């Protein structure tokens, strides 16, 4: 538990320092977020979660998908990112909650779909985090693990080689998802994006 808290504190510090103007650094990411919401396929009236939502960039698209009768919740660990989301008007599209995605203050079996953008590799314990996302998702609900860049392109952006131990790579991700309540349906790790779609097992 102490290791998880230290990991979470490092994540908070990293994103708190970068929260102001975050989206201005990545102005071209909007279409990628719209595309992943379409592939997640939330339906009118669904209850959806944006886990590790940051500035809640996907909340407007999620709200459009589920309509006025649906429920949209964004959760993030970093208060500064959520304040940036509020300043960008994202609270009009859903509820924003400051919480650890590894210990969600949400009821089990609540969500029809979960979007996790750039989240899983920041979790101190990815398996525990994926189990927690499975806990709050209905059987048959869908999960999208997403980043607007593929792993190789993201590593190049940060000036480091692609790690052979990256748990987001196939087949490691498939095994990780299977052990945490999910079944991997699709993995697209191109330069243009990273997308793993999974379904909550019964």
29-54 pLDDT, tens digit per residue, is 999 999 999 999 999 999 999 999 99
Task: Name 10's Cβ contacts closer than 8 Å, sequence gap at least 6.
Answer: none
pLDDT at 2 over 80: no
Torsion angle of C-alpha atoms 61, 76, 141, 171, degrees rounded to 10:
110
Distance of CA 84 to CAs 45, 162, 163, Å?
Answer: 27, 31, 32
Q: How far apart are CA 87 and CA 110, in angstroms?
A: 28
Q: For position 163, what pLDDT does the model report? A: 83
Q: How far apart are CA 130 and CA 186, in angstroms?
A: 17
Q: How far apart are CA 100 and CA 102, in angstroms?
A: 5
Q: How far apart are CA 74 and CA 196, in angstroms?
A: 19
Largest CA-CA distance found in the chain, in angstroms, rounded: 45
Whether 179 contacts 57, CB under 8 Å: no
Question: Could you count the other beta carbons within 10 Å of the beta carbon of residue 190?
Answer: 12
User: What is the per-residue pLDDT across 52-86, written as a single tens digit (0 to 9) for each?
Assistant: 999 999 999 999 999 999 999 999 999 999 999 99
Q: How far apart are CA 69 and CA 99, in angstroms?
A: 24
Identify each DSSP E strand in 56-193 by its residue range.
71-76, 95-98, 111-117, 137-147, 182-189
Give which of 132, 77, 94, 90 is closest to 110, Cα–Cα.
132
Exposed/middle/buried for 66, CB within 10 Å: 0-12, 13-18, 19+?
buried
- Tokens (6 digits) for 17: 């320092």
Q: For position 3, what pLDDT does the model report? A: 61
User: What is the per-residue pLDDT across 110-155, written as a single tens digit (0 to 9) for each?
Assistant: 999 999 999 998 899 999 999 999 999 999 999 999 999 999 988 8
């Amino acid at each position: 538990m102490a290791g998880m808290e230290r990991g979470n504190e490092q994540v908070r510090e990293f994103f708190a320092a970068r929260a102001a103007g975050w989206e201005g650094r990545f102005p071209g990411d909007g279409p990628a977020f719209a595309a992943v919401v379409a592939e997640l396929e939330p339906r009118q009236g669904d209850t959806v979660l944006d886990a590790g939502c940051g500035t809640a960039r996907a909340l407007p698209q999620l709200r459009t998908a589920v309509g006025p009768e649906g429920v949209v919740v964004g959760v993030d660990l970093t208060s500064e990112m959520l304040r940036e989301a509020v300043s960008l008007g994202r609270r009009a599209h859903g509820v924003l909650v400051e919480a650890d995605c590894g210990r969600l203050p949400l009821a089990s079996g609540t969500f029809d779909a979960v979007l996790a953008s750039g989240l899983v590799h920041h979790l101190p314990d990815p398996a525990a985090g994926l189990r927690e996302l499975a806990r709050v998702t209905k059987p048959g609900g869908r999960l999208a693990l997403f980043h607007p860049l593929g792993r190789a392109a993201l590593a190049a952006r940060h000036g480091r080689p692609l790690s052979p131990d990256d748990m987001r790579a196939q087949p490691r991700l498939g095994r990780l998802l299977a052990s945490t309540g999910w079944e991997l349906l699709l993995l697209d790790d191109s330069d243009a994006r990273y997308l793993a779609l999974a379904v909550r097992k019964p």
